[in-house]
């Protein structure tokens, strides 16, 4: 058995491979680590057959959907998952065949309704059900402290004490633990009376994850993250440097339109001399009346360079193939000491 751990902050992903057949499963992949997963599979001579999420993640963005499109392999979750893009929905006790390996699902609701642990040989991947020295929280959507108690004390902790535990999160650099070690040393597992355990879990007062709303939206629906949209737009548009734009302005050339896609109040407080105002929110509605020549070069900017990247991508999709995005934004332009015009006029 080949087992590779990929750490991304406190998140842990696992590449599980069969040494005899080179088949593999990727467990709890995180969106920012896609290139790393592919590099590991190439290095180890593996081919990913399954993309598995142990539960609906609320603190990071799952890579299962993007990798499924890229690799043409199924996304696997528990049958209780709300995600519409899941191809294979497992019930407790069912197996994934990965070459000579048998990866068995164990339904362990509590952290979320769709939480499951995965057992193979002497290893159990516990997702966010059981962590090293802790357990998954139960105060996020779908969490249930009573269900977590049942999952832990009636199922997970009855597994072989020698089983090695690999959780979906670890914040202190530890690689793994065992069922037996957690039964002995995990503070939360020492609270073995049901009511006391539930009361403890309901009063942890843990800080909410930074991207909880966006993570739940994308992981439950299959929608894109803002970062994905920006990345895709940036890959499809050219950029112009501040120095190049300043040189164009100083030369007095009228070949290009400088387009400010911020709101009017920001424009009037200070804009690039000669720029036209067309707020991003009105772009599609006003483009035909404000930008009549689709062959004209258009240099698009905003405050920080993100909205202008999206706006430039939209313009190019609409046929303005000479549209370019300013690398940076008004903030950098201002801080660089470049000239700034105030008021309503260009």
H or E segment to which residue 311 belongs: helix 306-317
Cα–Cα distance for residue pair 103/120, rounded to 1 Å: 5
Q: Are residues 176 and 298 in the same domain?
A: no
Q: Are residues 140 and 285 in the same domain?
A: no
Q: Are residues 41 and 60 in the same domain?
A: yes
| Contact by Cβ (8 Å): 27, 48 | no
Place of tokens 């598995």: 52
The mean pLDDT of 295-314, rounded to a whole number, is: 96
Q: Are residues 92 and 196 in the same domain?
A: yes
- Report pLDDT for 39: 97
Q: Are residues 16 and 105 in the same domain?
A: yes
- Report pLDDT for 35: 95
- pLDDT > 80? residue 20: yes
CATH number for the domain spanning 248: value is 3.40.250.10
Which structural domain range is residue 37 located in? Answer: 2-223
| Domain edge (last residue) among 182, 202, 223 | 223
Q: Are residues 188 and 259 in the same domain?
A: no
Two structure tokens written together for 171? 């914040």
Domain count, the chain: 2
pTM (2 d.p.)? 0.75
Cα–Cα distance for residue pair 343/265, rounded to 1 Å: 9
DSSP 245: H
DSSP 86-126: -SEEEPTT-EEEETTEEEEEEE--SSSTT-EEEEETTEEEE
253-263: per-residue pLDDT in tens?
Answer: 778 999 999 99
Q: Are residues 298 and 201 in the same domain?
A: no
Q: Are residues 207 and 268 in the same domain?
A: no
Q: Are residues 115 and 253 in the same domain?
A: no
CATH number for the domain spanning 9: value is 3.60.15.10
| Structural domain includes residue 344 | no
| Domain edge (last residue) among 223, 258, 291 | 223
Query: What mean pLDDT value characterizes the chain?
Result: 94
| Structural domain includes residue 263 | yes
| Structural domain includes residue 258 | yes
176 CB neighbour count, 10 Å cutoff = 18
């Amino acid at each position: 058995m080949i087992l590779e751990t990929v750490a991304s902050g406190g998140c842990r992903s696992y590449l599980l491979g069969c040494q005899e057949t080179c088949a593999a499963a990727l467990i709890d992949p995180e969106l920012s680590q896609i290139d790393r997963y592919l590099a590991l599979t190439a290095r180890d001579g593996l081919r990913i057959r399954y993309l598995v999420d142990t539960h609906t993640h609320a603190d990071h963005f799952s890579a299962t959907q993007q990798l499924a499109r890229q690799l043409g392999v199924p996304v696997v979750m528990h049958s209780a998952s709300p995600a519409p893009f899941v191809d294979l929905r497992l019930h407790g006790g069912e197996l994934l065949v990965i070459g000579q390996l048998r990866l068995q699902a164990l339904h362990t609701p509590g952290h979320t309704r769709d939480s499951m642990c995965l057992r193979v040989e002497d290893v159990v991947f516990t997702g966010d059900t059981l962590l090293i020295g802790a357990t998954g929280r139960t105060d996020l959507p779908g969490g249930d402290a009573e269900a977590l108690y049942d999952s832990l004390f009636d199922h997970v902790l009855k597994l072989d004490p020698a089983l090695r535990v690999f959780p979906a999160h670890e914040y202190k650099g530890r690689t793994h633990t065992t069922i037996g070690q957690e039964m002995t040393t995990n503070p939360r597992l020492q609270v073995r009376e049901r009511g006391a355990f539930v009361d403890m879990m309901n009063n942890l007062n843990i800080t909410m994850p930074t991207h909880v709303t966006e993570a739940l939206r994308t992981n439950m629906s299959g929608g894109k993250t803002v970062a994905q949209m920006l990345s895709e737009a940036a890959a499809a548009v050219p950029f112009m440097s501040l120095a190049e734009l300043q040189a164009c302005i100083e030369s007095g050339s009228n070949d290009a339109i400088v387009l400010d896609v911020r709101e009017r109040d920001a424009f009037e407080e200070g804009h690039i001399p000669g720029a036209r105002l067309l707020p991003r929110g009105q772009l599609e509605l006003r483009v035909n009346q404000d930008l009549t020549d689709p062959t004209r070069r258009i240099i698009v900017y905003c405050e920080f360079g993100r909205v202008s990247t999206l706006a430039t991508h939209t313009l190019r999709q609409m046929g303005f193939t000479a549209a370019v995005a300013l690398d940076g934004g008004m903030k950098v332009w201002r801080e660089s000491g470049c000239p700034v015009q105030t008021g309503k006029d260009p």
